[in-house]
């Protein structure tokens, strides 16, 4: 069985309007929410075999915070520039390319691509909030075979969700 948790980057800062979208860092709320959400994963004993992240600053910061909370060395995060505002087909391409020795992957990225991928895989959600997490399990042992035909919603979590 393969598992993936799609993680939307934390809330981004808009106080430096001259920055490119790619270079916007986390806002205070993102800096607060990202470790809170990573701690929830830690409480559930959920640790990834791989963190795959967009290179956008806000996504990279979210991935690094998540890794730190879970005790994963930062150099084990894979940063991929093509995940920045990627379409669902590009996101799936990168998931399909992963080694089958990895069973649980965190993918840190952006909307609308994450929302569209969730929908494609059969998840029901209007909008994955910033720092939100959407987990799927797949009834297969090969990343190359994952898709809507073997996807099952595992969990949904986001900062304002009551626990």
96-144 residue pLDDT tens: 999 999 999 999 999 999 999 999 999 999 999 999 999 999 999 999 9
What average pLDDT does the chain have? 96
pLDDT for the residue numbered 15: 83
| pLDDT for residue 163 is more than 80 | no
**What mean pLDDT is predicted for residues 52-68?**
98
Give yes or no for residue 23 having a pLDDT over 80.
yes
What is the DSSP annotation of 100-126?
TT--EEEEEE-TTHHHHHHHHTT---S
Q: What is the share, in percent, of the chain residues with pLDDT greater than 90?
A: 91
The Cα-based distances of 104 to 3, 17, 48 in angstroms read 5, 37, 5
Q: Which of 55, 61, 58 is nearest to 74 (CA)?
A: 61
* Residue numbers belonging to the annotated binding site for substrate: 58
Identify which of 49, 55, 60, 44 has the alpha carbon closest to the alpha carbon of residue 106.
Answer: 49
Annotated binding site: 58
Average pLDDT in the 23-47 region?
A: 96
As a whole number of angstroms, the distance between CA 140 and CA 41 comes to 23
Instruction: Map out the domains of the chain with their CATH numbers.
Output: 2-139 (3.40.50.1240)
């Amino acid at each position: 069985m393969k598992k993936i948790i799609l993680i939307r980057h934390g809330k981004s800062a808009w106080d430096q309007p001259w920055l490119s979208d790619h270079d916007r860092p986390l806002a205070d709320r993102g800096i607060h929410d990202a470790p809170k959400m990573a701690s929830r994963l830690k409480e559930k004993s959920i640790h990834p075999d791989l963190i795959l992240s967009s290179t956008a600053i806000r996504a990279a910061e979210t991935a690094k915070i998540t890794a730190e909370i879970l005790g994963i060395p930062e150099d084990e995060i894979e940063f991929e520039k093509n995940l920045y505002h990627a379409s669902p087909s590009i996101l799936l391409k990168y998931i399909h390319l992963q080694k089958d020795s990895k069973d649980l992957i965190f993918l840190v990225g952006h909307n609308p691509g994450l929302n569209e991928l969730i929908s494609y895989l059969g998840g029901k959600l209007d909008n994955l909030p910033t720092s939100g997490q959407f987990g799927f399990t797949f009834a297969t042992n090969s990343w190359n075979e994952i898709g809507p035909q073997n996807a099952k919603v595992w969990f949904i979590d986001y900062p304002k969700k009551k626990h």
